[in-house]
Structure formats: structure tokens, C-alpha cells
Amino acid sequence: MLRKLIAGNWKMNTDRAGAVKLARAIADGAAKYSTVDLLVCPPFVNLVPVGEVVKGTKVALGAQNMYHEASGAFTGETSAAMLLDAGCSYVILGHSERRHILKETDADINKKTSAALAAGLIPIVCVGELLAEREAGQTTAVIRHQFEGSLAGVSAEQIEQTVIAYEPVWAIGTGKVATPQQAAEVHADLRKLLVDRYNSGSAEKVRILYGGSVKASNAGELLAQPNIDGALVGGASLNAEDFLGIAATGAAL
């Protein structure tokens, strides 16, 4: 069994003071859950102050996005080297909101994934289907297409340093959650895709997270499913008690 990863995506929330307070509360409680890995991903402007709080604790720091170029005239963008300098070890790539609101393509995400891996960051590569695609029976095809496009050219060695997150778009911020069976089916498909492209040894080392309205109240059923190796938490990660409650559930399994 892989060690569970509980990642908090704070999205475009928190001011500096609130971010520091939240990070401190999570870091203070993290020691109780030493059997799981905890990660917080604040907005870019709060990476440094949050990084200072969690440095030396059980909580890792991650960013919510990055650009694929190392430097240059790319106004408003942030490179992998900048994230490393801020103390990041992870970066979320291809989140459903970036795919469907900001129109990022699989090719865009693939460039970022390659750049993150080359720099030594651990990418959390997100995939997921729209409600219309699920209702049309296209979930498997959509997930395969995103998997193949977003991870094109990633070697077996690199995939072992990569995290995948399944986020059904219809469950992001809606309060709707995939049933444990629905989530487990997609996670099993993703594991098979990993085996088919690489090998069973590499596939078994890749953590696959579930993301989509995860709360302490539903985390137990989800995290107990085969091939679900953690959670990418949105709204519940903005409350330390709720986030640590999910961590406690993961630690108990």
C-alpha cells in the first residue's frame, strides 16, 4: 500500500495573514499524522510566507501552476526555478479549472509536466471528465486522452516521481462527490493505463489522488478504495480542523 498524500489546494483564497495562520494550524497538527504526507498549495503571493511556516515540519509546500519556460519575457508567469526558490517541492498541473476555464490543453500541461520533472518538482497532474461526458459514457475515453496527452514523453523513471489526480469536473466545488465505486473504477483505469504504458513496477509506485468535494465526512469511504492513494482537497483545506480531519482518516487506514 502506498503512503497516502493529502494535498490542500487553496485556490484563489486567503490573504497573507490568513494563509500564515492556516499554515501554522496545519503544521501544528501535522505531527499527529506521521503515516500520511501533507501538502499545502497556497496562492503564488503567499508561497514564501507559508513556506517559512511549514519549513522543517511534516507539511510540504506546493504551487497551483507554473510555466514551462525557464525564464524570459513571459509577463505574469512563474518558472519551476522560482517555485523551488520559494521552497516548493510539488506543483499542481492541469487542474480542471485551468483546463475548462482558462482553456489549457493537454499539450500545454505536457510541457509544464516535463519542465517540472526536469527541475526536480513533483507534478500533480490532474485529469477528469465533464458531467456531459460522464452521462454520455465517455469517461474512460476522456481520461485516457488526457492521460496520454498530458504525460506524453514521460519516462518510466519520471512517472515514479509523478502524482496523478482524478477530478471529476462535475464534483469540483459543487458539493457533489463521485461515489466510492465511481472513483475506484476510474482509479483502476488509471492504474491500468500506467501498467500498459510502463510496467507494473512503475505503476505501483504512482500515487493517484481523488479530488472533488472531499470532506472529513466522506474521506473514509473514498480513501479506503483500492488505488485511491490520497486526496486533492479544495474547500475543506481552507479550514485546518477539516483538513486535519481528512489527514486523520488517511492515517487510520
Residues with active-site annotation: 95, 167
* 18 vs 41: CA distance, rounded Å: 14
Q: Supply angle C-alpha 52, 12, 190, rounded to 5.
A: 90
* 111 vs 35: CA distance, rounded Å: 33
C-alpha count within 13 angstroms, C-beta hemisphere, residue 170: 14
For the CA atoms of 251, 2, 183, 252, the dihedral, rounded to the nearest 10 degrees, stands at: -10
Contact 213, 170 (CB under 8 A): no
Q: In Å, how far are 121, 154, 158, 171, 252 from 113, measured between CA atoms?
A: 9, 8, 10, 24, 32
Q: N- to C-terminal Cα distance for the chain?
A: 10
**Residues linked to residue 41 through DSSP beta bridges, in sequence order:** 9
Q: What's the distance, CA 205 to chain centroid? A: 16
Nearest-CA neighbor of 203 among 189, 193, 211, 216? Answer: 193
